[in-house]
Structure 1
C-alpha cells in the first residue's frame, strides 16, 4: 500500500511512459498524414465527444467496483486484527489455573504455571502461524516463505503436516478447535460458556478467511475489465481524428497542437482505466494492495507482548514508501 500523500513523478512516469510514448507517436503520424494530404482522416468531433462521455461513465462504474474489492479486503484484514486480539484475551483469561466442576470420572488437578505458559504460547503462536499462512496462501507464496514466516510458530511435526495440506489455514483453525475440546473435556480448564465463546471467535476467523478467499478466487468480471480496455483504446484511436479539423480552424500551424492535446486527453482516460485495474485484486503484493505483511507483524507483536515477551520483532517499515 502506497503511503505517501502524493505520488512521485518518477512513479507516474514509470507507470505511464509506454502508453504516453505510443500515443505521442500515433498522434504525430495521424497529424503528419493529414497535413500531407490525407484529408479523409478527419471525422466530426461530435461522435468522438459522445464516445468519450460514454467511456467516462463506463470506466467510472468499473473503478467503483474495483475499489469496493480493495476496501472490502482491507476491512476483512482489519477484522482479522481485531479478532486476533480477542482470541488472545480469551486464551489468556479463560485458560487459568482454576479447574471447573465437571462430570468427569476423576478429579482434575489445577494447572501449574508452567503448563499454562505452554498452553497459552501454543495457542497464540499457532494463531500467528494461521495469519501468516493465510497471507502466503492469498499471495501464492507458500513454497518460498513457509519456513521463515510460518514454521517458527509451530512444532516441527505440525509445520511439516500443515505445509502439505491443500489449505493450511483451515487445518490450523481445526487444530485450535481440537485443543479447545481437550481443554474442556479432558483437562477441565474451560467451562461451557468459555468454550462456546472461544469457538465463536474461531467461527469469526473462518468467516474472515472465507471473505479473503472469495475475493481472491473470484476475479473481477472479465466483461467489465476487458470492455473497459477496449472502449478506452477505441476512444484514444478516434480522438486525434476528431481534433484535426477543430485545430485546423485555428490556423495552419495550430493543427500540430492536436498532437499533445490528444496525447494528454487519451493519457487521462488510460490512467483512470489503469487505476481501476490495479485495484481489482488486493492480495497480489503490489504497490496498491492490502499491506498484509505489516498487518501480520502487528498481530504478532500484539500477541507476543500479551504473552509477556520482551524480545519482539520490529514493525514492518515501508520500502520506497510502499507498505507490504
Structure 2
C-alpha cells in the first residue's frame, strides 16, 4: 500500500513507460504518413472520436469502481481478521488464562502461537501468484525487483518453525489441502480439549468456538477475493476498447492540429502537434485502465495492495504482549513509502 500523500507524475510515467513508448511511436508514424501522403481521407471525424471516447470513459469508470470495490473489500476483511484475532485473544486470556498466574499455561500459549502460525500461512497463501494477476506486467516487474514483499524472500516452512514444533511443521508442509485450514482445525481441537479437561465450561467453549468460526468465514472471504479475478469479460472489453481508441486518436486529432495553423498558413507545421496531443489523450486512457486493473488484485504484492504483512505483524505483536507481557517484534516499516 502506498502511504505517501500522492504519487508523483514521474512515478506514473515510469510505471507506464512501455505503454507511453508504444503510443509515441504509433502517433509519430501516423502523423508522418498523413503528412507525407496527404491521405486525409484516412482521418476520423472528431465527433466520432468524441462519442467513442465518452463511451469508453463510462466503461472505464464502471470497471475502476468495481476494481476499487475489490481492494476495499480486501482491506475490510484484513481489518476484520485483526479485530477477530483480538477478540479470540481476549476471550482466551479471560476465560482460560489466570490473571493471578505469573506465566500463562502452556496450553494457552500453544493456542496463541498456533494463531501466529495461521496468520503466517494465510499471508503466504494470499501472496501466491495467479495467472491473471499483474506481477508480470513490465511496469511492475521492475518495482518488485526493487521493493519485494516480505513473503518473496522467505519460506513458509522456515517461518512456521518460529511457532510450531518440527512435527507440526512437517504435517503442515506435507498437508494436501489448505495449510491454513489445517492449523485452524488444530485450534478447534485445542479448545475441545480444554472443554474435555473441564478447563472451560460450556459457555466459554461456545464463545471460543464462535471466534474461530468467524476466522474461518474471514479466511474463506479472503480466499474468494484472491482466487477469483475481476470478471475477465469486463476486463477484456475495456482493454480492447482502449487499444482501439488509442489507435484511432492520431487519425482523429490530426485535422484539428492542422486546422490550428491553417488560417496563418502554417498548417503543415501545426499538424505536428498531433503527436503530443495524441500521446496525452492516449496516455490518459491507458493509465486509467491500468490503475483500475492494478487495484483489482489486492494481495498480489504490488505497491497498491492491502498491507497484509504489516497487519498480521501488528496482530502478532499485540497478542505477544498479552501472552508474554512483551514483544521483541518491530512493525514492518514502509520502504519508499510502500507498506506491505
TM-score by length of 1: 0.91
State how 1:48-63 maps to structure 2 within 5 Å. Answer: 48-63=49-64
Structure 2: distance between partners of 1:310 and 1:201: 24
Q: Choose which of 188, 192, 214 in structure 2 pairs with 1:181.
A: 192
Change (3 A) 1:129 1:56: same
State how 1:29-68 maps to structure 2 within 5 Å. Answer: 29-37=29-37, 38-68=39-69
Change (3 A) 1:47 1:191: same
State how 1:283-322 maps to structure 2 within 5 Å. Answer: 283-322=299-338
Q: Is the 8 A contact 2:157 2:173 kept in 1?
A: no
1:258 positional shift? 1.3
Q: Choose which of 176, 179, 183 in structure 2 pairs with 1:172.
A: 183
Q: Is the 8 A contact 1:180 1:195 kept in 2?
A: yes
Structure 2: distance between partners of 1:28 and 1:305: 62
Q: Is the 8 A contact 1:73 1:212 kept in 2?
A: yes
Q: Choose which of 98, 116, 125 in structure 2 pairs with 1:128.
A: 116
Query: Are 2:215 and 1:227 equivalent residues in the alignment?
Result: no
Q: Choose which of 280, 286, 292 in structure 2 pairs with 1:264.
A: 280
Query: Are 2:14 and 1:18 equivalent residues in the alignment?
Result: no
1:112 positional shift? 7.8
Q: Is the 8 A contact 1:305 1:312 kept in 2?
A: no
Q: Is the 8 A contact 2:97 2:105 kept in 1?
A: no
Partner of 1:101: none
Structure 1: distance between partners of 2:339 and 2:242: 31
1:143 positional shift? 10
Change (3 A) 1:268 1:112: closer
Structure 2: distance between partners of 1:96 and 1:43: 75
Partner of 2:144: none
Which residues of structure 2 form unaligned runs of 5+? 129-150, 262-266
Q: Choose which of 186, 192, 208 in structure 2 pairs with 1:198.
A: 208
Partner of 2:163: 153
Q: Is the 8 A contact 2:97 2:108 kept in 1?
A: no
Runs of 4+ in 1 over 3 A off after TM superposition: 111-114, 141-144
Offset from partner CA, 1:72-127 (integer Å, 9 cap, x none): 000000000001111111111101459xxxxxxxxxxxx9866x431221111111
Structure 1: distance between partners of 2:162 and 2:152: 14
Which residues of structure 1 form unaligned runs of 5+? 99-110
1:13 positional shift? 2.0
TM-score by length of 2: 0.87
Q: Is the 8 A contact 2:317 2:327 kept in 1?
A: no
Q: Is the 8 A contact 1:83 1:201 kept in 2?
A: yes
Q: How many residues align?
A: 310
Structure 2: distance between partners of 1:90 and 1:311: 20
Q: Is the 8 A contact 2:31 2:254 kept in 1?
A: yes
Q: Is the 8 A contact 1:183 1:190 kept in 2?
A: yes
1:147 positional shift? 3.1
